[in-house]
Structure formats: C-alpha cells, structure tokens
C-alpha cells in the first residue's frame, strides 16, 4: 500500500509540471460517488472540498467536522478512485503546528497524497502571521516525512484576497511575502482563492517562488485564460457541490409546487452512478 501511495504522490507531483503546459484542473468532490463520477469524467486527480464534505455530514464549513470525521470522508473518497487525492484540511483542525501534523498523519493514513492548508484562523479571518503559518507548513512537511510519504504535495492556501485582508494595494505584496515563507517551510504550491484578475494573477505567477493555484467558477475567466498566464492548478471549491444541491432544491420545489419533473431531465442515470460506486467497492 505504501508503494502505491508513493506512486500516486509522484503522479500528483508530475501533474503540476506537465510537458504540455496544461494546468491541473480539479473539480472538487465531497463524497465517494461524486469523486468516482468526477474521475470517470476524466479528472487526472481529485481534490476534496471541506465545505462539501461538511455539508454532506450535516455540518457547517469551518472545522464543522472533527479531524477523524474529515479523515474518514477522505478515506471513502480515496477508496473510490484510482487517481491521486488531495485533501482539503482547512486550517489543520487546530491552531498549532502539532494540530497540523496530526491532521496530515490522519489524511495520509486515509490515502491522501496532497493537502490544502489554510492560513486563516476561521472564515473571514484573521490570518495566522507569517512566522506562525510557516511553522505550521513546516510541521506538515515533517509529518509527511515521518509518515513515509515525503512526496506529499502541500498546497499552501492564503486568504489575503478572499477575505480582503489589509489595504487593496498591499495585498499582492502580502501574498508574495507569504509565498516566500511558505516555500522555505516546505510548501509545493500557492493557493490564492479570491484572486481572479488576470493581470494580477500574471504578476503573481511571475514573482511567486511557488506554482500558483486559483479558484474559479461562474463569471471567472476560462481555464485557458489562466493557463495562458502560467497558472498551474485550477480548482472550483464548493461550486460543484453547490450546483448539485441547487438541482436538488429546484427539482424538489418543482415537484412540490407544479407536480412536474423538468429539473430532473438531465440527471445522471441510475446505472452510471451505481456502477461507479460498485467499481469502487470492488477495487478496495
């Protein structure tokens, strides 16, 4: 099992530096079935969404799950696919470096070969200061090495733009300072949700010591536009989960109000979903 996991970690690493220049596009999954269907659609790796995972368990985002509950969800997702899985571990399920290490060990044991680690204390901020977050990143790297998965991909997320931290004119420099510290601490890439302006993204790509990950969705520039300015990784956060829940809400309202079924017309057929999870069970 360790050999397979190390191979998946190497595969995820290679996807961040492709010969063809394509960005790694990650439609985020929230349970085993969504992961299996995303993989069937052609995803080269799976990233989880902490919010989607929490919502599916009846909890809010923002450490609404315990570390073990989150790791259990990651295990179900990793068991459902044969591509690399990167786990959204939010802020590490605790403020300290030891908390981050415990979480990294838990998700590696669950089958993940990558993590997203946030620098915010909670949704909306504040953020950990740079030395504190660098220590947390360093602890994640050490935990991966101790767990015999030194190739774990650490996607260091900074919420400077997402939460509008500081003066607008200072945010890029703040992010770059964080990128330098996180890179020195052992991060592999820089995730900057909330930043969609292509000119600013291009400048960040030019000046960052780490490959850049952006979070996109409706209204954002297309994937090819981000690839053109050098973005190496593109994810959509909660967008797929929200779209799925939106269909459920609209279909229920239509059924209850009009007694019709139009919103269900484009549903994935039963056999496709059932076979996806059946294949996952058979591979365990």
pLDDT at 281 over 70: no
What DSSP element (H or E) covers 213? strand 212-215
Distance between CA atoms of 13 and 65, rounded to whole angstroms?
A: 28
Sorting pLDDT into bands at 50, 70 and 90, what band is 96? very high
pLDDT at 280 over 70: no
Sorting pLDDT into bands at 50, 70 and 90, what band is 18? confident
Sorting pLDDT into bands at 50, 70 and 90, what band is 183? very high
Distance between CA atoms of 132 and 230, rounded to whole angstroms?
A: 29
pLDDT at 272 over 60: yes
Question: In a 10 Å sphere around its CB, with 0-12 CB exposed, 13-18 middle and 19+ buried, how is residue 121 labelled?
Answer: middle
What's the pLDDT at 284?
Answer: 52
Residue 194, both tokens: 């909330």
For residue 126, cis peptide bond before it (omega within 30 degrees of 0): yes
Topology classification of domain 2-240: TIM Barrel (3.20.20)
What's the pLDDT at 98?
Answer: 98
What's the pLDDT at 20?
Answer: 85
Question: For 190-215, how does the pLDDT look when each residue is reduced to its tens digit (9 = 90+)?
Answer: 999 999 999 999 999 999 999 999 99
Instruction: Determine the average pLDDT of the residues in 161-190.
Output: 98
pLDDT at 169 over 80: yes
Range in 19-23, 67-71, 133-137, 235-239 the model is least confident about = 19-23
Instruction: Determine the average pLDDT of the residues in 99-110.
Output: 98
Range in 18-22, 122-126, 150-154, 255-259 the model is least confident about = 18-22
Q: Where are the domains of the chain?
A: 2-240
pLDDT at 124 over 60: yes
Distance between CA atoms of 82 and 110, rounded to whole angstroms?
A: 14
Question: For 147-156, how does the pLDDT look when each residue is reduced to its tens digit (9 = 90+)?
Answer: 999 999 999 9
Instruction: Determine the average pLDDT of the residues in 103-124.
Output: 96
Instruction: Determine the average pLDDT of the residues in 20-38.
Output: 96
pLDDT at 256 over 90: yes
């Amino acid at each position: 099992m360790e050999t397979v996991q190390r191979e998946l970690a190497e595969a995820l690493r290679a996807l961040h530096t492709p010969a063809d220049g394509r960005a790694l596009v990650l439609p985020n999954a929230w349970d085993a079935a969504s992961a299996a269907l995303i993989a069937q659609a052609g995803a080269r790796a799976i990233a989880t969404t902490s919010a989607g995972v929490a919502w599916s368990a009846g909890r809010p985002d923002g450490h609404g799950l315990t570390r073990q509950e989150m790791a259990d969800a990651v295990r179900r997702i990793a068991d459902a696919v044969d591509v690399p899985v990167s786990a959204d571990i939010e802020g590490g399920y605790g403020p300290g470096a030891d908390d981050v290490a415990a979480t990294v060990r838990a998700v590696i044991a669950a089958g993940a070969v990558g993590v997203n680690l946030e620098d915010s204390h909670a949704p909306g901020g504040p953020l950990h200061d740079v030395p504190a977050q660098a220590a947390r990143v360093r602890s994640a790297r050490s935990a991966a090495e101790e767990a015999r998965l030194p190739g774990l991909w650490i996607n260091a997320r900074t919420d400077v733009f997402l939460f509008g931290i500081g003066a607008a004119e200072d945010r890029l420099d703040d992010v770059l300072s964080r990128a330098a510290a996180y890179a020195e601490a052992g991060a592999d890439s820089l995730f900057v949700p909330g930043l969609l302006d292509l000119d600013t993204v291009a400048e960040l790509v030019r000046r960052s010591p780490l490959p850049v990950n952006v979070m996109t969705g409706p209204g954002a520039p297309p994937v090819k536009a981000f690839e053109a300015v050098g973005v190496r990784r593109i994810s959509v956060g909660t967008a797929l989960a929200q779209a799925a829940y939106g269909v459920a809400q609209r279909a229920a309202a239509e059924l209850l109000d009009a007694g019709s079924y139009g919103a269900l017309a484009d549903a994935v057929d039963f056999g496709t979903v059932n076979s996806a999870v059946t294949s996952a069970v058979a591979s365990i």
